[in-house]
């Protein structure tokens, strides 16, 4: 497939709020089930091993009219849960037999209770991840949670995986994360060859298809990129921070790129690479998954930061790792984790002399002119400072 064909394939999946690919998969696998997970981190390996098709539930973006969702949420709550409720209330998520609600924030937490009431036949679990990297109590707790989840999921799917099957799922997701790291590294090195719009669509498609299919498509994409090199431009290199849960509309990503910015790192769809290292695929699988989370060095607004200097240093480190010139804090309106973190992150960035701008969006924002202008001015000023 060519680059354009792959991007169109991914765009179709992204645009399709009826989740046709999920429904097709279910039709082709009549004994299997699909399970949803909300942002940010959910142990997809367990869904995969118990026979579910893991499906990311990321709201309806700017492609969904909210008719019922607003009756569930006050105006001062972010947009994501109302579009998730809209998807569900309009029957678009009725193929999900289970939905996992990670401890990303209290909005998603409370949505788990709403789901229990609205959809009593669906398996619902709040995923309370450990907050401190303590190899003792926290690792034990998390292993217990994973075992509990595994038992429950096996009960719903009717398939209790063997340790080997669990290890296989771990290996598949190791490969997936490795692939995403490769894509991110390539974009970092040659952002002109891997526009974020394309990368983002590919990863969004990956949220609705089996990981094996995603891997195959991603390999094709890598090959297509090599076959179709682009010319570098004199763009500024920016890191996007704050968009880990409610996703920005595609138009916003495009606007930033078209304004003269190469996005060289971001936290879109962060759950798909939350574990930064491979999970050992030759050990006790549940324990290995638990320990991998505890040992993980992902720093994110959704986890407690144990290092008192952590918040202050994070932006400096990320900008250095991405060889970026500046940071765009792009945050969903009313997003507690992102907005409460921002003063700390921004102070650290500014102390390190990193140029920053900040704006808020909602997933259904339709006007991008203002973002484009802001990002354009930012990109220009970075070039000016850089040349000074």
Short-list 33, 27, 22, 43, CA closest to 169: 43
3-state DSSP assignment of residue 44: helix
Q: Which does 223 bind (CB under 5 to 8 A by kind): ligand SF4, another protein, none?
A: none
In this structure, what token pair is assigned to residue 333? 């309106």
- Nearer to ligand SF4 by Cβ, of 81 and 251: the residue is 81
CB of 322 to another protein, least distance (A): 23
Q: What does the per-residue mask of binding to another protein show for 323-362, with x meaning CB under 8 A?
A: --------x-xxxxx-xxxxxx-xx------------x--
Figure out which of the listed residues 26, 114, 224, 298 binds another protein, where binding follows CB under 8 A: 114
Extended beta strands in the chain, E state: 33-37, 52-56, 96-102, 123-127, 236-241, 261-265, 326-332, 356-361
What is the C-alpha to C-alpha distance for residues 112 and 276, in angstroms, rounded to an integer? 27
* Under rule CB under 8 A, residue 113 binds another protein: yes
CB of 338 to ligand SF4, least distance (A): 6
Span of 54-62, 168-176, 304-312, 369-377 interacting with another protein by CB under 8 A: 304-312
CB of 299 to another protein, least distance (A): 12
Q: Are 133 and 296 in contact (CB under 8 A)?
A: yes
- Nearer to another protein by Cβ, of 102 and 191: the residue is 102
Helix axes 211-227, 163-189, angle to 10 degrees: 20
Of residues 66 through 85, those in contact with another protein by CB under 8 A are 71-74, 76-77, 81
Extended beta strands in 13-81, E state: 33-37, 52-56
Residues in contact with another protein, total (CB under 8 A)?
Answer: 57
Figure out which of the listed residues 17, 138, 171, 299 binds another protein, where binding follows CB under 8 A: 138
Q: Are 142 and 43 in contact (CB under 8 A)?
A: no
Q: Which does 246 bind (CB under 5 to 8 A by kind): ligand SF4, another protein, none?
A: ligand SF4
* Under rule CB under 8 A, residue 109 binds another protein: yes
Helix axes 3-15, 211-227, angle to 10 degrees: 140
Extended beta strands in 261-370, E state: 261-265, 326-332, 356-361
CB of 288 to another protein, least distance (A): 19
Q: Which does 346 bind (CB under 5 to 8 A by kind): another protein, ligand SF4, none?
A: another protein
CB of 80 to another protein, least distance (A): 11
Span of 26-34, 107-115, 210-218, 272-280 interacting with another protein by CB under 8 A: 107-115
Binding residues for ligand SF4, per CB under 6 A? 78, 80-81, 104-105, 107-108, 245-246, 332, 335-337
Enumerate residues 6+ apart whose C-beta is below 8 A from 84: 38, 57, 59, 60, 69, 93, 111
Q: Are 88 and 119 in contact (CB under 8 A)?
A: yes
* Under rule CB under 8 A, residue 304 binds another protein: yes
3-state DSSP assignment of residue 376: helix
Query: In whole angstroms, how large is the CA radius of gyration of the chain?
Result: 20
Distance of CA 262 to the CA centre of its chain: 19
CB of 77 to ligand SF4, least distance (A): 7
Helix (H) or strand (E) holding 117: helix 106-118
Using CB under 8 A, list all residues that contact another protein: 71-74, 76-77, 81, 101, 103, 105-107, 109-114, 116-118, 125-126, 128, 130-132, 134, 136-138, 140-141, 144-145, 148, 304-306, 308, 311-312, 331, 333-337, 339-344, 346-347, 360
């Amino acid at each position: 497939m060519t680059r354009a064909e792959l991007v169109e394939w991914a765009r179709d999946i992204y645009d399709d709020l009826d989740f046709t690919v999920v429904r097709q998969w279910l039709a082709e696998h009549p004994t299997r089930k699909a399970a949803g997970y909300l942002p940010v981190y959910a142990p997809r390996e367990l869904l995969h091993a118990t026979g579910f098709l893991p499906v990311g539930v990321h709201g309806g973006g700017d492609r969904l009219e909210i008719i019922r969702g607003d009756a569930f949420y006050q105006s001062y709550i972010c947009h994501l849960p109302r579009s998730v409720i809209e998807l569900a209330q309009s029957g678009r998520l009725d193929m999900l037999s289970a939905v996992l609600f990670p401890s990303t924030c209290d909005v998603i937490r409370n949505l788990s209770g709403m789901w229990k009431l609205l959809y009593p036949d669906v398996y619902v679990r709040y995923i309370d991840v450990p907050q401190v990297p303590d190899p003792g109590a926290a690792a034990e707790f998390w292993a217990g949670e994973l075992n509990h989840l595994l038992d429950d999921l096996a009960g719903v799917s009717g398939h209790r995986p063997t340790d080997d099957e669990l290890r296989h799922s771990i290996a598949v997701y190791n490969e997936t994360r490795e692939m995403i790291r490769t894509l991110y590294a390539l974009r970092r090195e040659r952002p002109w060859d891997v526009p974020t719009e394309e990368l983002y669509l590919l990863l969004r498609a990956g949220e609705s298809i089996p990981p094996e299919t995603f891997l195959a498509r991603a390999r094709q994409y890598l090959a297509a990129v090599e076959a179709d090199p682009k010319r570098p431009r004199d763009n500024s290199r920016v890191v996007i921070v704050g968009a880990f849960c409610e996703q920005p509309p595609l138009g916003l990503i495009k606007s930033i790129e078209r304004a003269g910015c190469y996005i060289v790192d971001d936290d879109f769809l962060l759950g798909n690479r939350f574990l930064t290292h491979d999970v050992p695929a030759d050990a006790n699988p549940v324990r290995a998954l638990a320990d991998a989370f505890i040992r993980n060095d992902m720093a994110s607004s959704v986890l407690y930061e144990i290092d008192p200097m952590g918040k202050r240093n994070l932006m400096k480190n990320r900008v250095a790792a991405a060889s970026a010139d500046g940071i765009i804090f792009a945050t969903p309106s009313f997003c507690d984790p992102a907005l409460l973190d921002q003063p700390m992150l921004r102070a650290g960035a500014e102390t390190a002399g990193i140029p920053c701008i900040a704006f808020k969006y909602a997933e259904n924002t339709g006007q991008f002119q203002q973002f484009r202008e802001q990002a354009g001015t930012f990109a220009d000023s970075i070039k000016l400072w850089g040349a000074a």
